[in-house]
């Protein structure tokens, strides 16, 4: 019997080193004379038969042609392919019928291959990775992975005893993707990819870059998950969210690390699940009046101490708190409560864990080969090669994936400066200039622009935010104007300057008045978010309340004053969890916020101040409509250094829609302090951070002040005010 297979193919199969297994295994024409030959590699099998798919009748006994389990059956009188199964017999008398994975057609069509090769398949997550599927009436899972330089790729898992010889994959050389359909694999199956590099060396087993679900660290396998069929009930939010993400909409963001916001002390101090957070976190944020929740990275990550900023599976929400549909449930509940969801998105680097993207197919596939381009020394991570179209498309597809599959409203892109500067945190000789001799990462710039363009084009009401710490121009301006295309940018300069000022003993603040005013020189160059983030309460910086000077009363007065200043300055708002009620200790990702502090009036007072500021900010057009436009802000007096007092006004689209803000940054009360105002009439005191309901001394202006026709600060009218110590006061005209 001529089995139409040469010894080299057999040896390559049994040695798990065949680069084109579909050319040998499965059904094949025998030659010009016709007939079908079926070949199978079935290790650990005593014997095998080909059986009719419909009846189960034995069609042929297969012949073992290699002792390790290569079998052949010939059907010389059959010219057409037919449906069949393989019946395996084992030592001890057991047997089972199995599908032959090598009888099924390719997973990828020609158009998918073309787009993947071109790096323009913006929904590549629909083809790459693991997807439950039905081929020719048979249920299973289709697997696909990009590994263009590999000599052989096998999918291994609990469905094939983790044996890399059993399911070597088909390669499409046009796009470098290996794929196959495996009958019997199911939702919940654990899997990885076994890759033999171009030199023949076996790589460490690799997790799926497109995995939708993964094992809990320290385990590293990917898990098959079916994302289809989830029943969303947030249609009203999705249809109206565009109005909530514009520059003139109020945006007050509560930043959360899901694992340490609140824990369950009765069950080993475990973190709350996604579904528990959907009840507790959502109701808490809604009560405090925030418009959005920003979640620190939820993509699966192996190291807890990275806080998610070293992700290993960009398409998988971490299993620490539940399954992917549980995370969808959390997002859905946010939207039902009228709260938007922003994800921290890490596209700047990835960890060096052996099961990750590094040296993926035996070459530097996702990263640069030269460490001067491809490695972050500070973080011990690898940098994406943005100039490679397939890599840029992988990241772009991921950004769109979160919005499509999880209804995410916004992406806050982490560490943008590290992406766009080739010399970021590098000394001379540690980086390579671009083709024009500059320090700009041209590939990263092109990637960011395209990603921003696609986010806004593909998903109505979605937006992006840049964490960009330099003076790179036009970060939040459209790409057609020469910008990077982000919707917003964190104002890192404002944060550094104002926190430095607030940490000073008030006696010295008169000498640092410019720390509060300097930010207005550039406040409208970008669409800014005033962010007091997790980075400001870690690494020895202490808690936000801990950075305030003075005794306990003064610390909390300073904190409330800072909140009032922040909420009345131009720009959207972001505050890290716990800061709203004055947590006493530096944030610890392994613990929980100290909720017991809310038994004390000063902590409840700080929380109440944030609640009222959020509601005031949202309800007052003058405080948000022109957050990003210069005619929405004007100083009344920014020169009172000696008394450390600032006064300014905010305007809405209606020019007469005005609020007046006065901040006293010393513990000395000021009587009969006069400030000019643009309109006559009665001014209501709509917020006073020194109110007794917040824990203050309750000094103020009796609820309202009548403007005097006394010119002051360039205005025809003025107010004579009582300024409480270490307090911010907000007034609004009741007429005019």
How big, in percent rounded to 5, are the helix, strand and coil portions of the chain?
30, 25, 45
> What is the edge-to-edge ordering of all strands in the sheet holding 381-382?
350-351, 381-382, 375-376
Q: Determine the number of helices (DSSP H) and then strands (DSSP E) in the chain.
A: 14, 39
For residue 463, the tally of other CB atoms under 10 A from its CB is: 26
Q: Is 129 left (phi over 0), alpha (psi -120 to 50) or beta?
A: left
Annotated catalytic residue 467: yes
> From the candidates 467, 468, 497, 627, which is the catalytic residue?
467
> Is 235 buried (19+), middle (13-18) or exposed (0-12) by CB count in 10 A?
exposed
Through-space distance between the first and last CA atoms of the chain, rounded to whole angstroms: 102
Phi, psi of 547 (to 5 degrees): -90, -10
* Residues 255-293 as b or e (16 or more Cβ within 10 Å = b): bbbbbbbbbeeeeeeebbbbbbbbeebbebbeebbbbbb
Annotated catalytic residue 414: yes
The DSSP code sequence of 62-88 is PEEEETTTEEEEEETT--S---EEEEE
Phi, psi of 229 (to 5 degrees): 90, 5
DSSP state of 122: T
Beta bridge partners of 37: 28, 74
Q: Is 735 left (phi over 0), alpha (psi -120 to 50) or beta?
A: beta
Contacts of 533 (CB under 8 A, 6+ apart): 255, 490, 495, 574, 576
Question: Which ranges of 620-680 would DSSP assign to H, the alpha helix?
Answer: none
> From the candidates 179, 367, 414, 685, which is the catalytic residue?
414
Q: Whole-angstrom Cα distance, residue 249 to residue 240? A: 12
The DSSP code sequence of 507-555 is HHHGGGTHHHHGGGGTTTSS-EEEEE-GGGGSTT---TGGGS-SSHHHH
Contacts of 379 (CB under 8 A, 6+ apart): 310, 349
Q: Which residues are catalytic?
A: 414, 467
């Amino acid at each position: 019997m001529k089995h139409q297979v040469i010894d080299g193919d057999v040896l390559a199969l049994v040695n798990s080193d065949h680069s084109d297994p579909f050319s040998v295994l499965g059904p094949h024409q025998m030659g010009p004379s016709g007939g079908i030959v079926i070949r199978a590699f079935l290790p650990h099998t005593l014997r095998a038969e080909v059986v009719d798919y419909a009846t189960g009748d034995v069609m042929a006994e297969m012949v073992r042609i290699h002792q390790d389990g290569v079998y052949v059956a010939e059907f010389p009188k059959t010219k057409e392919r037919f449906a069949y199964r393989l019946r395996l017999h084992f030592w001890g008398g057991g047997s089972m019928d199995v599908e032959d994975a090598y009888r099924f057609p390719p997973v990828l069509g020609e158009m998918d291959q073309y787009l993947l090769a071109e790096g323009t398949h913006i929904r590549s997550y629909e083809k790459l990775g693991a997807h439950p599927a039905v081929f020719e009436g048979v249920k299973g899972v289709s697997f696909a992975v990009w590994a263009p330089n590999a000599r052989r790729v096998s999918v291994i898992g609990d469905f094939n005893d983790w044996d890399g010889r059993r399911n070597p994959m088909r390669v499409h050389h046009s796009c470098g993707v290996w794929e196959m359909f495996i009958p019997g694999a199911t939702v919940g199956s654990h899997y990885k990819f076994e890759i033999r590099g171009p030199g023949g060396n076996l790589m460490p087993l690799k997790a799926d870059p497109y995995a939708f679900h993964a094992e809990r660290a320290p385990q590293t396998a990917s898990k098959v998950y079916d994302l289809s069929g989830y029943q969303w009930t947030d249609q009203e939010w999705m249809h109206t969210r565009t109005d909530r993400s514009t520059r003139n909409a109020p945006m007050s963001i509560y930043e959360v690390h899901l694992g340490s916001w609140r824990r369950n002390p009765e069950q080993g101090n475990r973190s709350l699940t996604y579904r528990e957070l959907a009840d507790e976190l959502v109701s808490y944020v809604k009560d405090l009046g925030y418009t959005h929740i920003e979640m620190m990275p939820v993509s699966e990550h192996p190291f807890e101490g990275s806080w998610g900023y070293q992700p290993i599976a960009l398409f998988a929400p971490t299993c620490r708190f539940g399954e992917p549909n549980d995370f969808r449930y959390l997002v859905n509940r946010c939207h039902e409560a009228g709260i938007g969801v922003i994800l921290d998105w890490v596209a700047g680097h990835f960890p060096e864990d052996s099961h990750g993207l590094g040296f993926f197919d035996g070459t530097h596939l996702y990263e640069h080969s030269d460490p001067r381009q491809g490695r972050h020394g500070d973080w011990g991570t690898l940098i994406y090669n943005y100039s490679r179209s397939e890599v840029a498309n992988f990241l772009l597809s991921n950004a769109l994936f979160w919005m499509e599959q999880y209804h995410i409203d916004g992406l806050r892109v982490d560490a943008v400066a590290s992406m766009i500067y080739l010399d970021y945190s590098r000394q001379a000789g540690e980086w390579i200039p671009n083709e024009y001799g500059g320090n700009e990462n041209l590939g990263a710039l092109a990637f960011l622009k395209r990603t921003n363009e696609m986010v806004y084009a593909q998903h109505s009401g979605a937006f992006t935010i840049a964490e960009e710490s330099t003076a790179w121009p036009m970060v939040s301006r459209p790409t057609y104007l020469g910008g990077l295309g982000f919707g917003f940018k964190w104002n890192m300069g404002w944060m550094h300057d104002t926190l430095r000022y607030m940490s000073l003993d008030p006696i010295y603040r008169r000498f640092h008045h410019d720390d509060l005013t300097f930010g207005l020189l550039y406040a409208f160059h970008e669409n800014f978010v005033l962010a007091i983030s997790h980075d400001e309460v870690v690494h020895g910086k202490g808690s936000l309340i801990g950075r305030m000077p003075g005794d306990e009363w003064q610390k909390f007065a300073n904190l409330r004053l800072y909140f009032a200043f922040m909420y009345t300055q131009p720009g959207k708002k972001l505050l890290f969890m716990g800061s709203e009620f004055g947590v006493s200790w530096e944030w610890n990702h392994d613990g929980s916020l100290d909720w017991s502090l809310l038994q004390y009036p000063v902590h409840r007072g700080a929380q109440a101040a944030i609640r009222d500021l959020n509601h005031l900010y949202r309800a007052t057009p003058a405080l948000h409509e022109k957050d990003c436009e210069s005619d929405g802000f004007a100083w009344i007096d920014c020169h009172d250094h000696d008394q450390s007092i600032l006064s300014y006004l905010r305007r809405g689209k209606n020019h007469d829609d005005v609020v007046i803000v006065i901040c006293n940054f010393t513990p000395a009360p000021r009587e009969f302090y006069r400030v000019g105002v643009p309109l006559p009439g009665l001014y209501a005191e709509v917020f006073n951070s020194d109110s007794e309901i917040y824990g203050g001394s309750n000094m103020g202006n009796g609820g309202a002040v009548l403007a005097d026709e006394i010119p002051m600060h360039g205005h025809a009218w003025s107010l004579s005010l009582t300024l409480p110590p270490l307090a911010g006061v907000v007034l609004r005209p009741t007429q005019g």
